[in-house]
Amino acid sequence: MSTVIEVTSLSKTFGTKQALNNVTFTINKGSTVALVGPNGAGKTTLFSIICGYLKPTNGSISVLGHNPGDANLFGKISALPQDAQLDPKFSVAKQLSFFAQLQGMSRKAAEADTQRVLELVDLAHVANSKTGELSHGMRKRVCIAQALLGSPQIVLLDEATAGLDPKNAKAIRNLIASLQGDMTFILSSHDLSELERLCDTVLYLEQGQLSSHQSDLYQSEQGSFVTLQMLNLDTPMKDKIAELSGVKNIKQTQSDELVIEYAKQDEPFDLSLLTLIHENSWTYKQLVNGRTLENQLFVD
């Protein structure tokens, strides 16, 4: 698998403020990466360095084999900044077509590409509306369309679905899912449940430091996980589950929720667990393979 972004010992300071502190990671071609972390963790700073808007104070970064901002990256990397702005006085199509022409497309090609990306975000019907007349959610989708102009290999979306209603947020998630694999996505969001459905790799930043770089929500080096939600979980139930063959560790993450780590064996573990539940006439609410991103990041 080829590497599209390689970051080594990257640091960024603003005066005395250390926004990024010795960050190292690689991103593989075609992966979808979640960039997670609390407010002020350094996510936007990292995005800005990858895009070439900011220079690192120390360390190295290579994007598709080039320095960020290099002319060779023109059209190959695109970004939806957190506070993307559109000019309210111009039509959607005019602005997108303008950006496409800035990428070097002829006017005709730019208009065709504008139509294509507007269809992708389901906004072809507002092509001739001024962006100032659109709702916040629609403007956000226009900005996402802008990030998809041309054929970028890497797309960075900072809080792509923030402020969107659930239906529109889902449409954006579906759009990203449909483009996954061809493009490498880096998504930042505070909505962990959104990211865990889309992403195969997680970068967790905290106070400028990368505290976790994981690429599998379903398995760790030690074993696999299931998340079980019971109706009225009690200690005897927990003890019986712990006795099941293959169980390595059990964590109670919420009052009725267990994350069970198990070693792979011949008998599928979820089947043994369901059999145990059935034999004891317990009631379960949900059994999901893997563990949530929230449980992975925040439960020791």
Q: By CB under 6 A, name the binding residues for ligand ATP.
A: 14, 17, 19, 37, 39-45
38: left (phi over 0), alpha (psi -120 to 50) or beta: beta
Least distance from C-beta 205 to ligand ATP, angstroms? 6
Q: Are 174 and 98 in contact (CB under 8 A)?
A: no
Q: Are 11 and 22 in contact (CB under 8 A)?
A: yes
DSSP state of 178: H
Least distance from C-beta 32 to ligand ATP, angstroms? 19
Least distance from C-beta 211 to ligand ATP, angstroms? 13
Least distance from C-beta 252 to ligand ATP, angstroms? 30
Least distance from C-beta 17 to ligand ATP, angstroms? 5
191: its two tokens: 């909505």
Q: What distance in Å separates the CA atoms of residue 263 and residue 298, rounded to the nearest whole number?
A: 22
Looking at the Cβ atoms of 48 and 114, the one nearer to ligand ATP is 48
Nearest to 45 by CA among 214, 207, 184: 207
Looking at the Cβ atoms of 149 and 186, the one nearer to ligand ATP is 186
Looking at the Cβ atoms of 81 and 290, the one nearer to ligand ATP is 81
Q: What is the dihedral of CA 240, 242, 247, 252, to 10 degrees?
A: 120
Looking at the Cβ atoms of 190 and 248, the one nearer to ligand ATP is 190
Least distance from C-beta 172 to ligand ATP, angstroms? 19
- DSSP H helices, the chain, are 43-51, 92-102, 107-120, 136-147, 166-179, 192-198, 235-242, 269-279, 293-298
Looking at the Cβ atoms of 14 and 74, the one nearer to ligand ATP is 14
Looking at the Cβ atoms of 27 and 260, the one nearer to ligand ATP is 27
Looking at the Cβ atoms of 35 and 92, the one nearer to ligand ATP is 35
Q: Are 176 and 80 in contact (CB under 8 A)?
A: no
Three-state SS annotation for 197-226: HHCCEEEEEECCEEEEEECCCCECCCCEEE
Partners of residue 12 on adjacent β-strands: 20
Least distance from C-beta 11 to ligand ATP, angstroms? 12
- The total of other beta-carbon atoms located within 10 Å of residue 202's CB is 21
